[in-house]
Structure 1
Amino acid sequence: MSTLEVLILSSNYQARRKIQAGQTERAILAAATELSRERSFEKISVREICQHAGITTGAFYHHFKSKSELLQKGFTSLDLYMEDVLHGHENDEPTQRLRLILSAYADFMENLGFELVSRYYSQRLDCPTFQSITPNRFIFQSLFSCIQEACSGRDPLPGYPPKWVSDFLFRHFRGVVIDWIINRGTYSLSDKLQQDYVLFQKIFQP
């Protein structure tokens, strides 16, 4: 076997391993999500999550050091979810993409359920150095791209550039999620964000 063939096989193997790892992590998160709808996340054991996901505890600890890390890393799948949702919509009007982002964001949170999302935010307060939303995250970049493109080079609001407005909007929408948690998921998060979108889309008007 030539060196090139060995490199190709190695590359294919690593690609398959990466895909498998992603699938396992999503299965673990899905299991934790389903179980948390039945009772508190704190009362769910790692063993139960593994049984529900159809994996060994060894596989769990290969991906996550603890349930706490599962909660932190689990939200990184939001970016993967967003990528899937936006795939094929790259050429849509920016306002349409923005609406799709908000719908997907709400769907993702509601699928997790308010109890699991509230645990995530509680953990964030206990670990202030952990950053869930940074400028390089896919969801923030997608939001920024929509606003920048929709405004065609002008500031969305006088004196406020697209990046500032993107950060402001995301802080607002995250605040809506926290209000939804406080109200224990008693209203539709998707409907609420869509109502807010109708108001905020006025910033795109020249």
Structure 2
Amino acid sequence: MLTAMKKDITGKITRGTQRTLDAFFDAMTALLQAKSFADISVNELCERAGYPRATFYNYFEDRDDLLNYCWIALSKQADLADLASTDPEHRVDTALDAMADLLESHASRLAVILKNNPPEGPMFASLRSFIERQAREIIRTCIDRDRFTLPVDLIADHYANTVMLVLDWAYLRGHPLTREQLHDYVHTLLRGVEAA
């Protein structure tokens, strides 16, 4: 699910629009590797992207809007195949693997960005919020409704928060886990720590 942006990117995008979006994406990711998100100005983004401020504001409301677009662009790289056709007992694992693959494929860039942007800061708060929304939407569409008596939205929130908690622990807070451990942690937390 794409979140609302100033520029509608849900339909067909022209090559010119894609070039502009790519330039601002590249500018943001390059600057995040050099400094804190809080210290990045719209002027710097425009200078780095090679576009005037007017163009920036034609596409984005503000820096946060561009950052959200960056998460959208990265999430398109995740292989979130048709989860509804996956067996119910494997759906959370499939979504978890897709999100972990995405984070791992950008591990070196993420490590540099972490040096300038602490996990408690606004940049990672934005990333966490985006991943939680994505996970919630993915899980909401693939929950086996017959297995639960609780409301689907509540179950989706619980699953998404658990997946995000483990991804955050492993990839953003520096507690490396094998893929098997990643799955074990999520399933243990979903069963309840008392049952483990």
What TM-score range do you get, normalising by the shorter chain? Answer: 0.5 to 0.7
Q: Compared with structure 1, are the counterparts of its residues 26 and 96 closer, same or farther at alpha carbon in structure 2 (3 Å cutoff)?
A: farther
Question: Which structure would you say has the larger Rg?
Answer: 1
**2:24 — aligned with what?**
28
**1:15 — aligned with what?**
12
The runs of 5 or more residues in structure 2 that have no matched partner are: 1-10
SS of corresponding position for 1:15: coil
Q: Give the TM-score of the pair, scaled to structure 2.
A: 0.59
Residue identity opposite 2:140 in structure 1: F
Q: Compared with structure 1, are the counterparts of its residues 69 and 95 closer, same or farther at alpha carbon in structure 2 (3 Å cutoff)?
A: same
**2:98 — aligned with what?**
104
Counterpart Cα distance in 2 of 1:189 and 1:27: 34
CA displacement, residues 129-156 of structure 1 (integer Å, 9 cap, x when unaligned): xx8589xx664332123322xx6x121x
**1:56 — aligned with what?**
51
Q: Compared with structure 1, are the counterparts of its residues 175 and 23 closer, same or farther at alpha carbon in structure 2 (3 Å cutoff)?
A: farther
Q: Compared with structure 1, are the counterparts of its residues 88 and 166 closer, same or farther at alpha carbon in structure 2 (3 Å cutoff)?
A: closer
Across the aligned residues of Structure 1 and Structure 2, the Cα RMSD in angstroms comes to: 4.1
**2:36 — aligned with what?**
40
Counterpart Cα distance in 1 of 2:68 and 2:118: 11
SS of corresponding position for 2:150: coil
**1:173 — aligned with what?**
163
The runs of 5 or more residues in structure 1 that have no matched partner are: 1-13, 125-130
Q: Compared with structure 1, are the counterparts of its residues 176 and 72 closer, same or farther at alpha carbon in structure 2 (3 Å cutoff)?
A: same
Counterpart Cα distance in 2 of 1:23 and 1:89: 31
CA displacement, residues 79-112 of structure 1 (integer Å, 9 cap, x when unaligned): 6445xx1236653334444223112334445637
Q: Is the Cα–Cα contact under 8 Å of residues 46 and 56 in structure 2 kept in the other structure?
A: yes
Percent sequence identity over aligned pairs: 22
Q: Compared with structure 1, are the counterparts of its residues 60 and 95 closer, same or farther at alpha carbon in structure 2 (3 Å cutoff)?
A: farther
Q: Which deviates the most, 170-179 or 61-70? A: 170-179
* Segments ≥4 residues shifted beyond 6 Å: none
Q: Give the TM-score of the pair, scaled to structure 1.
A: 0.56
